[in-house]
Structure 1
Amino acid sequence: MTLERLHAIETPSLAVPLIQLDAVRLTLMSAAGPVDILRGIDLAVEPGETLGLVGPSGSGKSTLLSVMAGLEKPTSGTVTVAGAQLDTLDEDRLARFRRDNVGIVFQSFHLIPTMSAIENVAIPLELAGDRDAWDKARAELELVGLGHRTDHYPAQLSGGEQQRVALARAVVASPKILFADEPTGNLDGKTGETIIDLLFDLRRTRGATLVLVTHDASLAARCDRRVRLADGSVVVDEAVA
């Protein structure tokens, strides 16, 4: 056995986190002066992991998700996601990063009201120049149970149906990371459970990493790991039993 082979056995390679935050701070100005939203966050998320971000309103959960997704730039610190250092990228490069790596599901759906369900789902693929955008969008809508609603506009869909469209749009480009910010916040309990089941099923079948913001303790308990924030700081980081 060669020395190189022996060394490789004795010192196995370590996985590189898909998301790495180091000393991330975000301060915003208000009429009363500067407000510290994030206060020195250190966090690593492994490929394929499901992470639940919990904490009281105003603790910084949604802001932290936005920083990881490249929607918000930190005041200081480094944010490295899928090999890209987001805090150094301009808006155009951040947009391309999100297009190629990220799917996002919001509480308020964020569908384009003048576009049909299939048009909303096809948008990420069309922006990437995918010639099969419409066929793939139709297939995703079938997977979320809306194959019969492809030509309906958001105003013609129930809240649960709109969130299904948003889920289909988030996964249609097979992103490395799915971000979900209170995805059941505008839905009744039964509909919300259905959406969450779909979200976890889609994540599992695509092999994506999931970062989920929620107030629901039972929902956070479905994740591999739970991170609790308070006043912009991580106060608990634990594996879910």
Structure 2
Amino acid sequence: MTTPALTLQNAALSLDGNAGPVGILHDINLNVEMETTLGLVGPSGSGKSSLLMLMGGLEQATSGRVTALGNDLTEMDEDALARFRRDAMGVVFQNFHLIPTMTALENVATPLELAGRRDAFDRAATELDAVGLSHRQNHYPAQLSGGEQQRVALARASAPRPRILLADEPTGNLDETNGAAIVDLLFGLRDRHGATLVLVTHSHALARKCDRVVRLRDGRIAEDETREAAE
């Protein structure tokens, strides 16, 4: 059998609060198969983004196990997690997280350079062209619209050819037109590179594009259905 892209076994997450530990996620059991798309939905505060952070090793599970591409993330230190994300994952956030003093081309190329890619700038230019920004590669983030900045973020996430692509509300700060364009690009990049895509969204239309939808409620999985079952 093929190793799942992501596996969570009895995963839980607690964060320190003023009155002590606060339970965020409880007893999460989930397998995400290779080259599939998974939508994480649910009301605000249900734990969607926290679950995505566990999958990416950006938060460490308080208990249980999180495995990505056969690698146990709960056993890795911060340096090992950073290297794993660099080599195997792409992450897109709602707020872009571009470096303001770097051009679009430099923002995309820098992670590739850090990974030792000799073709960093050539590949960055190719990815910017794929998101329709070849004419904007020498512009700084402040010179770009929100939609353009998110396109740069998509190009940066996809440039290393990640096997897993994580997106946290990628259309949350965009208007409907730009949001729809970003969705098309996101799924297009996923198809082009054959990646597993996991995304957090409040959009029912976006969730319906996924092969599978998991609904969270109060930090637990409340529903889990495939697109075929939903239809």
User: How high is the TM-score relative to the length of structure 1?
Assistant: 0.93
Q: Gaps spanning 5+ residues in structure 1: where?
A: 1-13
The amino acid across from 1:20 in the alignment is T
Report the Cα offset of residue 28 of structure 1. 1.1
1:31 paired with 2:31, answer: no
1:236 — aligned with what? 223
Pick the aligned partner of 2:102 from 115, 128, 139. 115
Q: Is the 8 A contact 2:104 2:137 kept in 1?
A: yes
1:67 — aligned with what? 54
Moved over 3 A (4+): none
Q: Is the 8 A contact 2:131 2:151 kept in 1?
A: yes
Report the Cα offset of residue 29 of structure 1. 1.6
1:148 — aligned with what? 135
Report the Cα offset of residue 33 of structure 1. 2.5
Report the Cα offset of residue 34 of structure 1. 1.9
Mapped partners of 2:51, 2:74: distance in 1: 13
Larger Rg: 1
Cα RMSD over matched residues? 0.7
1:54 paired with 2:44, answer: no
Cα deviation code 1:106-133 (max 9, x no counterpart): 0000001111000000122101111110
Q: Gaps spanning 5+ residues in structure 2: where?
A: none
1:224 paired with 2:207, answer: no
Cα deviation code 1:18-49 (max 9, x no counterpart): 10000001111211222100001000000001
Pick the aligned partner of 2:67 from 75, 80, 83. 80
Report the Cα offset of residue 15 of structure 1. 2.3
Pick the aligned partner of 1:90 from 52, 74, 77. 77
1:160 — aligned with what? 147
Deviating more after overlay: 32-41 vs 172-181: 32-41
Report the Cα offset of residue 86 of structure 1. 0.2
Cα deviation code 1:170-219 (max 9, x no counterpart): 00000000000000000000110000000001100110000010011111
Deviating more after overlay: 122-131 vs 156-165: 122-131
What secondary structure does 1:148 align onto?
helix
Q: Is the 8 A contact 2:4 2:70 kept in 1?
A: no
What secondary structure does 2:98 align onto?
coil
Q: Is the 8 A contact 2:3 2:70 kept in 1?
A: no
Mapped partners of 2:3, 2:79: distance in 1: 26
1:4 — aligned with what? none
Pick the aligned partner of 2:181 from 176, 194, 203. 194
Q: Percent identity?
A: 63
The amino acid across from 1:117 in the alignment is A
